[in-house]
Structure 1
Amino acid sequence: MALHLGIVVILFAGFKFSPSVPEAMEAHLTAPLEDEAVPEEEIVSAATVDKAKINEQIAEIKAQEAKREEEIAELERRAEAAKKQREAEQQRQRELAEQQRAERERLAREQAAAQQKKQEAEQAAEAAAERRKREEEAARKAEAERKKREEEARRLEEERKRKEQEARERAERERQLQEELAAERERRAAARTRQIQSEVGKYTALIRSTIQRNLITDPSMRGKECKVRIRVASSGFVISVDTLSGNTAVCQATQNAVFKAGTLPVSKDPEIFKEMETIDLTVQPEFN
């Protein structure tokens, strides 16, 4: 509003010497203002002055101009033959000089404003260039960081795959080792089983031989047999002899032979003895 009032006062004071009020108004409205003279808020306010109000004020100024011109014309006619004509001319010259001075000031302001705009444009260009440089640098760093992250991700993935492969290889080796150990255990167990069976067979033959040595026979037993179950202690001591089937005479002779022996040959190996702790044996009398 202060800017608007200033424009109106200037126009009102100088309307008599302006070629036309609209042109003067346009010149003052388009003339750039010095930064230190007019605050930015007033410039913004002036820029938003309602156009209708400006037109109304221009019309009022025009009316005042017309009225003033009529008054001046009347004064000039009254002073046409007097000394006031010369004074009016002097006044006109002074006003013209003032107008010229104002015009020079306006031009100076325009030049200063143009220079200011040029400097601002240069500063804006420099700021834009600096901003682009910072943005490019930031983009370069971001790209480098992205590549670094990707490289790290690839390294971690390769490390993960390598560890998985090593784990699979370890698991395969472990599986193979377990299979080899199981196979070895089976081989050993089979070998042990064969050994035990061989030892059981050997001691069974020894027991059979012991029984045959102590077996009292007669011709009536020829071709006959008896199946008995013998239980012995770990020392070979005979605990019991039970008849399972067969000829009565042969079975009685077999029991007598076993008890006569008293102690039968057995292995000191606990596993082999366990297989011999209870022996089912078929005895056939032998004749020469």
Structure 2
Amino acid sequence: MNLYPIALIASIFLHLLLGIVLVFSFEFKTPVKEQKEHSNPSPNSEHKTKPDLVHAVSVDKSALEKQVKKLAAKKAAAEAAEAKRVADLERRARAAENKLQKDKQDIKQLEKQKRKAEADAKAAKQKQIQESNRAKELKKQAEEQNALKRKAEDEAKKAKDKAKQIEEELKRKAEEKRKAEEAAKKAEEERKRKAKEAAEQAELERQMRAQMEAEQAARNQQRQQYVMTEVEKYTAMIKSAIQVNINQDFVVAGTACRVQIRISQSGVVISTKILSGNAVTCKEVDKAINKTYQVPVSKEADVTAKLRDIILNFGE
């Protein structure tokens, strides 16, 4: 920790206290002395002696002197600590400088040894390279002679193998040609057989499709007739279910109402739309539809689908 700022502050504060003590000593000692020499004590006098004030000043002065001594001691201690710290830093700096000089000498010596070792290693490496090159050259010459011998032997063997390979290749191609011709003949026979079977099968399937389509058309026609019959039946039932809820007392005689209704799969009336007719009569029809709420529907999906959106005529 750096004690120099503390010592400086303590010094400044000490000088300030000394100045304050001197001022108070000058202001309070002179009036007291003059009062003792020139004034007579009088109970009614405005300039009578005040012993309590003098005592208080004396006490303050004593306290200030103690504080001054305390600060002086603290300053001395701080200065001593600072001097010790500076001396310690100087000692450590000298030690570091000595070590640095020694390290420099050691480094120079090591660098010298390193250069010598590198030179020795380089010479040894050069010698090793020369010996290695000579050995490689001798080995290369021996390998070249062996290679020439092996090459001649290999070429002779390759020529013999090539002749044998050509002979075997000719035999293989002849066999492949024979098999290919035989396979082509069988393939043509198989193609003709399959083509005949395919034609017969196609004709049979065509006849079956025609028959099935005719049968399906007949079934569809029958179903369509049945569905339309069921639609007419349920339309009449729906109209009848609504008709019983129409209040005939409010229907205008001789008038009619044409209405479109949408029905859910379960028979619940989803919406109503008046298409044409007498307003009073149509109003009663609309009330009757809302009152009916649910109408009879078929359990067959295709019949119910045609009943989802129907037009009914009421009146006339």
TM-score by length of 2: 0.38
Higher helix share: 2
TM-score by length of 1: 0.41
